Amino acid sequence: MCRQFITAGKLSNLRKLIEKTYNEDIKIKLLGEIEKEEENLEEEIEKELEETKKQKKDYDAVLTHNIPVISYSNGEKFLTKMKWGIRFDPEKKSPLIFNSRDDTVQTKPFWKKTFDKNRILIPMLGFYEWQDKGRKKKVKTKITLPGRNLFMVPGLFWKSKQDVNEFTLITTSPSSFMKKIHNRMPVILDDENVFDYFTDSFEENAAKLKPAEVKVKTEEEDQEGS
């Protein structure tokens, strides 16, 4: 599973990184203002750019927070923010679903339909897993991909009863290296034609849900998790 990852601190920074990595110019549309075009956001974006000069360019994305994602509507890709974690009934304290299994999105009706209709891409600079060291000790391990400053993980979203866009990311079985760390990992899409995820058929996208045999770099963090 994945319950924490690294993303760009600001949408403006992330947009620059996407353009540099994929040669793809993606507009920014703010959550709750999805119809508000980027040309009407110039003042907000300039303010972001000024703020980022004083801040780190990346940060750890955590559950239930609004996280940058790439969405798709009417033939247009855009950066926005969505809440990480789907909770079907907050009043009844239903579980928070933050990862969707590759087999689940291909077989269970709700998830299958959502995977087909409500696709997003989650840009990551890295992610974390908690490695079991035995004796009930788990160590937080940072995982990045050498040579890739940015990579894309497929996800899906739904609109809650409170009219909030909530998302999950899709996980799969571990690669040969990740088996040493955890029994699941995020699906990491190939950089080539990565944005075809929005327009490919259900069957074509289902075939992409597999462990990525990529080189990774690991760093054990001082903080321990459970």
The pLDDT confidence band at residue 37, using thresholds 50, 70 and 90, is very low
Phi first, then psi: give them for residue 107, nearest 5 degrees. -125, -40
pLDDT of residue 222: 63
Which pTM value belongs to this model?
Answer: 0.87
Domain boundaries, the chain: 4-224
pLDDT of residue 57: 65
- Fill in the DSSP letter of residue 94: P
The rounded distance, in Å, linking the Cα atoms of 167 and 120 is 8
**pLDDT tens digits along 172-190:** 999 998 888 889 999 999 9
Tokens of residue 155, six digits = 């996800």
Using an 8 Å Cβ cutoff, are 170 and 100 in contact? yes
pLDDT of residue 43: 56
pLDDT of residue 9: 77
List the one residue out of 3, 181, 163, 143 whose CA is nearest residue 82.
163
In a 13 Å sphere around the CA of 64, the CA atoms on its Cβ side amount to 4
Length, in residues, of the chain = 226
**pLDDT tens digits along 90-143:** 888 889 999 999 999 999 999 999 999 999 999 999 999 988 777 778 888 999
- CATH class as words, domain 4-224: alpha beta
The pLDDT confidence band at residue 225, using thresholds 50, 70 and 90, is very low
Q: Tally Cβ neighbours within 10 Å of residue 198.
A: 18
What does the pLDDT average to over 40-57?
A: 53
pLDDT of residue 34: 41
Mean pLDDT is lowest, of 21-35, 85-99, 191-205, for 21-35
**pLDDT tens digits along 134-172:** 777 888 899 999 999 899 999 999 999 888 999 999 999
SS (H, E, C) 14-82: HHHHHHHHHCCCCEECCCCCCCCCHHHHHHHHHHHHHHHCCCCCEEEEECCCEEEEEEEECCEEEEEEE
Considering the chain, what is the average pLDDT of its residues? 86
Phi first, then psi: give them for residue 113, nearest 5 degrees. -65, -40
Mean pLDDT is lowest, of 1-10, 11-20, 69-78, for 1-10
Strands 76-84 and 27-28 turn out to be: parallel
